[in-house]
Structure 1
Amino acid sequence: MENDNESSSRYFRLQGLSGNPQIQAFMFFLFLIIYLLTLVGNSAIVASLQLNPNLCSPMYFFLGQLSFLDMCYVTVTIPKMLDNLLLGSQVISYSGCFTQLFFFISFGQSESFLLAVMAYDRYAAICHPLHYADIISQRVCIQLTVFSWLTGVLNSVLHTGLAARLSFCSSHEISHFFCDITPLLRISCVSTFVNEVVIFVAGIFVVFTPFLCILVSYVHIIIAILMIPSAKGRQKTFSTCSSHLGVVCMFYGTILLMYMRPVSYAQDHDKIFAVLYTFITPLLNPFIYGLRNREIKETFKKSNWKALLAVRTY
């Protein structure tokens, strides 16, 4: 038992998505492609916002923050997963596991609040267009962004600190493909009641509060859109927030299914939900925003033409 305690204090073993070597080889290339596409897509969004001086409104500022968050989000989990798949090892150190957990929660919760901030931005633009510049000033943009990041970090400190105090003497095999809070609680050999209560209470603040803000914002937005007399005007106004609405549905749909229930009710298909909100959502975000936003598409096309002309000239 002493040896088990000592070894479990040094590392955890991630169960992964599959133990089949052939499937693991397929997953390595699949998730490598997903990771590269996510970085390229979100980098293209950030670059487009920097290249076009006309894309300096608060909406694009928050979009740039979202793209940067998504790149950080996938970088926390996928590189270690690819390393394990390539080497055929599922081992992660104790410190590495809790470091991964800390940044994963930080970026995830920051994105939750940032999506609420973006909904508030759309509410101000659609419902109070004449006062929009005063409501969402540059100073307010920075304050809301800092608040989103800071809230995510503080929430992560709370959960990571409580999880690090647990004992994992009976097992150190995590039934997941990265270090997440719920799988860690399952392998603890001491009571996790405090952790579960904190997850539920904090979840009300960091998940339901932003979600409620988004819901209230869109209720006012829909009312304002319905009051527009022309169908073309209603369609044009709704198009400015349809991309954000799609991202919100993907993000909160999987988050609510994953975390807002007791640990004992968790099922094996949680890994599928984890893949959706950890990998697929950050991958689709730049395509949802980029393909539906004319200004971003035009900026990206112009930058490609300039790069192509520069290469030919050289």
Structure 2
Amino acid sequence: MTSDDAMTKAGFVALIGAPNAGKSTLMNAMVGQKVSIVTPKVQTTRSRVRGIAMQGTAQIIFVDTPGIFTPKRRLDRAMVQAAWQGAEDGDVLLLLHDCARREIDQDTLNIIEKLKKSGRKASLVLNKIDLPPQERLLERADAMSKLYDFERIFMVSAETGNGIDDLKTWLADHMPASPYLFDPEDLSDMPLRLLAAEIMREKLFLNLHQELPYQLTVETESWEERDDGSAEVHLSIYVAREGHRGIILGKQGQSIKRIGSAARRDLEEALERRVHVFSHVKYRKDWMDDSARYSLWDLDYNA
């Protein structure tokens, strides 16, 4: 190890919590740019996404896991297993809780029970502190500290950035001595092809209603670099029912055009260059039971 390496730290921070606790928003705030998709719908994150943040000489690698809930389907089971696997891989474990909720939700209580059995050290991050009255924040912190012996309790708003700097500084102090595990310029280890597919999936989630988003997936068919420095991306949107194609396309293709434009703007902002996005909506009846999809998301088909 060189003398420079001896000064550096690097480690993993696993973010766990119930669906919609704000894990993806927190990770994006820590990294300073979108690396994980964020929607108001639960269970948006399907696989483990890593975001990389630098703080002084420390490299903090955040692992954003799918929300932990009671699984019903094969995909649900694989997502929950990935979340707990992510928790085991972290040097520091953060449990995120939406403190704007009127009471502690059952999913969070279940997570705390599992943490007790595992004997893992964990810190609590009460998120969305800008929403509830002040007294509820203090009551919630007190109630949750009685349920589990948290190493630290932080109060943040991932949305506004309030409290983020204190949390980031504390995490940097708790990273093990290590050479950097990724290039300090990198923000994520997510390949561009997957980032493009995930951003498109986010826009579909935001623009479609009820159950439909859970019945679709997006894959990047091709990514080509053009001579002028721009990129050309072809995305396939797979739906589980033939009737869903028309809903996504919209009248005269207006819906997919609007959604595709929103995805292109986000990609261009992330990559700081022009991107040409072409999307195709395809019917594939059993994509949710296709093992190849699961390996794409780094999920265990047999969970």
* TM-score category, normalised to shorter length: under 0.3
Structure with bigger helix share is 1
With a CA cutoff of 8 Å and minimum separation of 6, indicate the structure with the bigger relative contact order.
Answer: 1
Structure with bigger strand share is 2
The structure with the larger Rg is 1
